Amino acid sequence: MKTHLSNAACGILDYAAYPIGMLIVAPVMLRNLGVAQYGVWAVVTAAVSTGSIVASGFGDANIQHVATQRGIGDPGALLRAVRSTMGIHLVLGTAIALISWMLAPYLARHITASDPGLQSACIWSLRIASLVILARTVETVCISTQRAFERYGAAVRISIFVRLLTLAAAAAISVFSPSVVSIMAATAVLITAGLWLQLARLKELLHADTLAPAFDRETTRALFAFGIFSWMQAVSGVVLSQADRLIAGVTLGATAVASYALCVQMAQPIYGFAASGLHFIFPHLAQRRVTTSPTALRKAVLLAFLANLVLVGVSTAALLLFGDRVLHAWAGESVARSAGRVLPLIVWSSALLGLNVTGMYAMLALGRVQVVTWLNLGAGATMLLLILWLLPHYGIYGMAMARLCYSPIPLLLYIPLLFLLRSRPGARVQMTAAAPICEEA
């Protein structure tokens, strides 16, 4: 239990540390860089985050495969999985980095349209960001492998330290040499140094002579059978997380969408804390599915769901009770007034989505990534269709209604999960690393 609590705390810290750090350094950087350069830095940082997520979509496949091989007790297959994932991520990361590098001039022209003097700085910042994306993509292999070993502290310690160090360096550089290019260059150096530390720790953990990328045929096929769906989820998640605000902004204008965006930002931690705090159950169940009875698995899933319910319940109650006051203090009376109607809908939407966390991780651990992917894609498509229908008639309130209708759909995961866990007494939920995944794919 102590290990699980430690893993949960590390997951939440990993989720919260960087956004809190950005809020802390924002006033310093805004004052020293000016609005235009700070805007460039914010866009470039968002590009790094988006590119890294898209290029690292096979991280969950690595967790599932490595955790399963740990349960089976096959260190050779485990190392082949890590090296195959390294190869896949290098290919994806290089492709995304090259696309980002080539698109930099085009993006810079639009980003700096109101200040052409910043165009060159923006181009080079975006190009440095493309190198950071590649480094972050490789780092994901190290972090996902550590998580597969249920070593969440070791997985995030270096990552959190390096990311917070990049923010501290950015704030310091903005004081002494206010240049967004210098900030991104320092970020690239620190991220690369952190990557080398991660790789050294991973070699030590695996007792491996090398982590050079390799493409073992069977292992790569198993990783692709799982990973193509987790990659689809990652890409669709990036798109869907911004689609509603983009549609509202184009349809109703920036002013109208401001209150909605603030409500969404406030409610995100309901899902975020649950997802990050309970992530450890993914490798925990993936390892034990080959050695544990269905009764023990059912008990583990039930305990995880109870913890899930408590996390979501506390966060939801806090926002419903104090959300209006926070909005008033954060954004002023006019925004708080316009957001008053939509905040409860968005809070309940995030709460329902947060209750899906246990089911999602359990299904991933049991190798049923396809069900997770199709339900999430179906829910996202439903939300977009409802937005297009409700937005013209009800405005921002219609958008919140569409979001609320979207959230219960992923909860349907619990139906196939119950059937999976209802095996005959004494039987084990045994699956090889690749067999059921390849069969379903």
pLDDT digits (tens, 9 = 90+) for 162-179: 989 999 999 899 888 888
pLDDT digits (tens, 9 = 90+) for 82-102: 999 999 999 999 999 999 999
Q: Which two tokens stand for residue 285?
A: 């169940």
pLDDT digits (tens, 9 = 90+) for 37-76: 887 887 888 788 888 888 888 888 888 888 888 888 888 8
pLDDT digits (tens, 9 = 90+) for 270-293: 988 888 888 888 888 888 777 777
Whether the predicted pLDDT of 434 surpasses 50: no
pLDDT of residue 54: 85
In which band, very low, low, confident or very high, does the pLDDT at 310 lie, cut at 50, 70 and 90?
very high
Distance CA 190, CA 184 (A): 10
Apex CA 13: angle with CA 30 and CA 288, to 5°?
150
Using DSSP's 3-state secondary structure scheme, residue 430 falls into: coil
Q: Which two tokens stand for residue 106?
A: 């085009």
The whole-chain average pLDDT of the chain stands at 82
pLDDT of residue 4: 65
Q: Which two tokens stand for residue 192?
A: 């690369």
H/E element holding 47?
Answer: helix 2-55
pLDDT of residue 193: 94
Taking residues 346-357, report their average pLDDT.
92
Whether the predicted pLDDT of 361 surpasses 80: yes
Q: Which of 140, 151, 235 minimizes the C-alpha distance to 191?
A: 140
Distance CA 431, CA 441 (A): 15
Whether the predicted pLDDT of 424 surpasses 70: no
- Give residue 380's region: left, alpha or beta (phi > 0; psi -120 to 50): alpha
Among 229-243, 338-352, 401-415, which range has the highest average pLDDT?
A: 401-415
pLDDT digits (tens, 9 = 90+) for 240-271: 776 666 676 656 655 556 667 777 878 888 98
pLDDT of residue 38: 80
Length of the chain: 441
pLDDT of residue 436: 34
Apex CA 411: angle with CA 409 and CA 417, to 5°?
130
pLDDT of residue 440: 31
Taking residues 148-170, report their average pLDDT.
85
Using DSSP's 3-state secondary structure scheme, residue 232 falls into: helix
pLDDT of residue 250: 59
CB atoms inside a 10 Å sphere around CB 313 = 14
Spatial contact of 189 and 46, defined as CB atoms under 8 Å apart: no
Apex CA 394: angle with CA 392 and CA 400, to 5°?
110
Taking residues 118-144, report their average pLDDT.
91
Taking residues 1-22, report their average pLDDT.
72
> For residues 359-398, b (16+ Cβ closer than 10 Å) or e, as one string?
bbbbbbbbbbbbbbbebbeebbeebbebbeebbeeebbeb
pLDDT of residue 431: 38
